Amino acid sequence: MNKKKYFAILCLLLISSSVIAQSTRELTDSLSILLRRAYVFPEKADTMGSLIRKKQKEGKYEQFGKPGDLAATLTSDLRSVYADRHLSVRYDPQLEKRISIFSQTRKQDTNSIRREQRQNFFFRKTEILPGNIGYIDFSNFPDTNALSRQTVRAAFTFVAHTDALIIDLRGNFGGSTAMASEILSYFFPSKTYLGRHYNRIENSWKNEWIVNEPSVTGGLSLSMPVYFLTSRRTFSAAEGFAYTLQQLKKARIIGQPTAGGAHATRSFALGQGYVAFIPFTRSENAVSSTDWEGNGAIPDDTTSDSEALISAKKIIYSQFFHTATDSTEIRKFNWLLNDLRTAFPVLEKDLALYCGSFEEFTFFKKEGQLYGTADPKGQSNSLTYVGNNLFRGSQWQVEFIKDESGNFSMIKLYWPDGWVDTIKRSANPERSSDK
């Protein structure tokens, strides 16, 4: 190779290496300064800053060809000092640009509002379950604005007249702490002390109160029992929402312990397309004198993710069943509890004992399962055995009653509205085989 050409390439490599070293030094310097100014634990911030500066001087950050890999390594190094799941570095030039614009103008990004609006501000389902139980499922806490507040108010207004409310946070990853506080206010008719929080940037403690502001809630105040469904994915503001109501004895948590990220976070533009997410506050709950950092919100009733909703229904129906005084209401909730009971297998030879006619109701076995119909020409109802000679179907439940001879000579039909029919077996019963 020509000596001049070789020398030119060597110079370019040296210049390139110098530029990379300078850019990583500027990045780690910016990050260190921000950590010392904003991170919620000052001592940890000092240790983190010293660590990444040391690694930068050793050239540990100059080997990454992709900016995303460098961001991931910086995040890992910071969390090696303290495993704060809110603390991270991300390479995102567009986000860095939006942060810079917001810092200069203090105007909310209208594109962000439109993006959240297209997702219905993260509200995925609102419905009334059997037994007059409200159910709300949302995956994030949107930013506070007129449109998001309208959606939140509509969701909670829809369930305002239910006797219990299930809020599904199993897939909720957090979001706006301001919105979380606004939603909390729906459950507090009067001004209530929640505790206090420490702001590292301001270096001060402040008492935290919750107030139901009519301009936000429209004056809606909810007093029904609340049940949260949680998982290990439930994070940040979602954890705080459930934790706060649980500690104040206004809610019961069912599911798995949450992720354990309690510190509110701000995003900072680091330059070069990098963004730092730095936790800057921590709180002390009025009841527990701590928060959910590291441990998560601990369920009152632990169950798997997939069983959490069924478990909540069982708990609610059981409470209503035991507190009801009207016989019709008692039967209604007993029907709902039976509808959730675990199915048990029945030997095919035993199914024949249940087959036959009871006035207009006919029962027969088919492919190893019991079926029933109220009209021979009508649609049959497949029945699932739940124990004690009780079967459930989609339309009704049937209990087979034995006489003194041990034969099933009568049935009781239970309907969802609490009505019960008692019917004797027809004079010439047909113990039908497969139809």
The percentage of the chain sitting over the pLDDT mark of 90, rounded to a whole number, equals 82
Which residues sit opposite 21 in a β-bridge?
none
Q: What's the pLDDT score for residue 17?
A: 42
Task: Give mean pLDDT, residues 162-186.
Answer: 97
Residue 358 region by backbone torsions, left for phi larger than 0, else alpha for psi between -120 and 50, else beta: beta
Task: Give mean pLDDT, residues 22-28.
Answer: 88
Confidence of residue 22 (pLDDT cuts 50, 70, 90): low
Q: What's the pLDDT score for residue 376?
A: 62
Measuring CA to CA, which residue among 364, 372, 320 is closest to residue 131? 320
User: Which range (27-31, 103-107, 328-332, 380-384) has the least confidence?
Assistant: 103-107
pLDDT digit string, tens, across residues 140-165: 999 999 999 999 999 999 999 999 99
**CA end-to-end span of the chain:** 91
* CB-neighbour burial class of residue 147 (10 A; exposed 0-12, middle 13-18, buried 19+): middle
Q: Which residue has the higher pLDDT, 109 or 50?
A: 50
Q: Strand 369-373 relative to strand 361-366: parallel, antiparallel, unpaired?
A: antiparallel
Q: Are 271 and 232 in contact (CB under 8 A)?
A: no
Task: Give mean pLDDT, residues 122-143.
Answer: 97
Tell me the C-alpha distance between 328 and 334, whole Å.
10
pLDDT digit string, tens, across residues 98-118: 888 776 666 666 788 999 999
* DSSP class per residue in 123-137: EEEEEEETTTEEEEE
Q: Which residue has the higher pLDDT, 413 or 380?
A: 413
Task: Give mean pLDDT, residues 306-310.
Answer: 97
Task: Give mean pLDDT, residues 161-179.
Answer: 97
Q: What's the pLDDT score for residue 109?
A: 67
Domain positions in the chain are 119-261+296-316, 348-424
pLDDT score of 240 more than 70:
yes
pLDDT score of 14 more than 70:
no
Q: What's the pLDDT score for residue 394?
A: 87
Q: Are 179 and 212 in contact (CB under 8 A)?
A: no
Q: Give the single-character DSSP code of 141.
A: B
Q: What's the pLDDT score for residue 15?
A: 35
pLDDT score of 13 more than 50:
no
Q: What's the pLDDT score for residue 16?
A: 38
Burial track 397-426 (b if 16+ CB lie within 10 A, e otherwise): bbbbeeeeeeebbebebbeeebeeeebebe
User: Which range (111-120, 166-175, 314-323) has the least confidence?
Assistant: 111-120
Looking at domain 119-261+296-316, which of 3.30.70.3040, 3.40.50.12780, 3.40.50.150, 3.90.226.10 is its CATH number? 3.90.226.10
Q: Are 260 and 290 in contact (CB under 8 A)?
A: no
pLDDT digit string, tens, across residues 347-394: 888 999 999 999 989 999 998 899 999 876 667 889 999 999 999 998
Tell me the C-alpha distance between 253 and 262, whole Å.
17
Q: What's the pLDDT score for residue 3?
A: 57
Q: What's the pLDDT score for residue 100?
A: 82
Q: What's the pLDDT score for residue 374?
A: 84
> E-assigned strands of 337-396?
356-358, 361-366, 369-373, 381-387, 390-392
Task: Give mean pLDDT, residues 286-297.
Answer: 96
Amino acid identity of 284?
Answer: E
Distances (CA, A) of 390 to 14, 64, 316, 329, 383: 83, 66, 22, 19, 9
Q: Are 275 and 90 in contact (CB under 8 A)?
A: yes
User: Which range (9-23, 81-95, 255-269, 404-418) has the least confidence?
Assistant: 9-23
